[in-house]
Amino acid sequence: MLIRPAVASDANAIWGILEPIILAGETYPLPMDTSREEALAYWLSRENAVFVAEDNGEIVGTYYQRQNQKGGGAHVATCGYMTAPWASGRGVARAMCSHSLDRAKANKFRAMQFNFVVSTNARAIRLWQSFGFVMLGRLPVAFLHPTRGFVDALVMHRHLFDTA
Amino acid sequence: MLIRPAVASDANAIWGILEPIILAGETYPLPMDTSREEALAYWLSRENAVFVAEDNGEIVGTYYQRQNQKGGGAHVATCGYMTAPWASGRGVARAMCSHSLDRAKANKFRAMQFNFVVSTNARAIRLWQSFGFVMLGRLPVAFLHPTRGFVDALVMHRHLFDTA
């Protein structure tokens, strides 16, 4: 698994991953009818550092990292990760999360926060927990899941340095 | 106190309120050197419904309201409020919060969430609590306060309808 910064020519591959996940509407608070242009503008926002995961030359995942807030909140990172549905089970998300933690530490972030982890996304929650993320809060009925109705979302957090 | 939608000609008055609050750097996660143009682009983003509070014809406060998330999270509102420092103590923030709750209900939002309430902003926290907001989570050392150093931020929430 090679994780490298995304380049402009990765746009088609990135959209190929984003599209089925946005269409499913189960994990990200994005409209299911988000267009290619809107999705790429969101993912490749100039505030985001964007990476892709390659497995045998095929792009199978992508993630972004950015400051979660500006100004006095700029020392906390946030990320979004998407694994190609057809590459599930290969450890793509795990490799990207590990890479993103290393990258955040290298960039002197003091913590990483996920603002909106859909509570039915059990696999992702277990993965973040395995990396030391803890739940800071539960946002009640914050997400309308396409088949399960209103479900909670979690705020998850991990320190990257001592807070002393 | 009159609360009405902001119009283009309010920009100077809005910047007059934002500028000292951003410069103080104590309550919003915005760079203290945010320019007039950047601040107005942030506050008057096209995703925001923006209002101003007028007291005897003078603009003494402003707030925005928008979806906190899109797609499956679009039923939760968020807001930002700023009261002119020279108009503190007149109930401006209270009037704006009340107006924003009415407006959120009228727009069928099911809840309102504040994502980043700086924990040293005791006056604001008491005000939100008086309107029924509760703390859902505490973000540890999430904000670098200019005089108090790293302090926590709170996620606060209020349901607007029955969740049954």
B58-74: b (≥16 Cβ within 10 Å) or e: ebbbbbbbbbbbbbbbb
Say which residue the tokens 């899109």 belong to. Answer: B70
Percent of chain B topping pLDDT 70: 98
**Partner-chain contact A71 B153, CB within 8 Å:** no
Q: For residue B99, what are its two tokens?
A: 């107006």
Nearest CA of chain A to the CA of B59: how many Å? 26
Say if CB A59 and CB A17 are below 8 A apart: yes
From first to last of its 164 residues, chain A has per-residue pLDDT tens of 999 999 999 999 999 999 999 999 999 999 999 999 999 999 999 999 999 999 999 999 999 999 999 999 999 999 999 999 999 999 999 999 999 999 999 999 999 999 999 999 999 999 999 999 999 999 999 999 999 999 999 999 999 986 54
- Phi/psi for B128 (5° steps) reads -65, -40
Task: State whether residue A11 is helix, strand or coil.
Answer: helix
Residue numbers in A near B140 (CB within 8 A): 111, 136, 157, 159, 163
- How many CB atoms neighbour CB B101 within 10 A? 20
Average pLDDT over residues B117-131: 98
For A69, which DSSP code?
S
Minimum CA–CA partner of A136 in chain B: B137
* Residue A155 β-bridge partners: A137
Tell me what pLDDT residue B88 has. 94
For the stretch B68-88, pLDDT in tens is 999 999 999 999 999 999 999
Average pLDDT over residues B93-115: 98
* Residue B2 β-bridge partners: B54
Cα distance between residue B102 and residue A110, in whole Å: 38
Say what the ipTM of the complex is.
0.94
Cα distance between residue A133 and residue A131, in whole Å: 6
Cα distance between residue A21 and residue B144, in whole Å: 35
Who among A31, A75, A144 is closest to B144 (CB)? A75
Residue numbers in A near B31 (CB within 8 A): 70-71, 74
Who among A25, A72, A74 is closest to B72 (CB)? A25
Assess whether pLDDT exceeds 50 at residue B128.
yes
Q: Give the side-chain half-sphere CA count within 13 A for A101.
A: 15
pTM of the model: 0.95
How far, CA to CA in Å, does A23 sit from each of A6, A105, A151, A157, B127?
A: 22, 33, 18, 27, 40
- How many CB atoms neighbour CB B156 within 10 A? 22
**Partner-chain contact B73 A29, CB within 8 Å:** yes
Residue numbers in B near A118 (CB within 8 A): 72
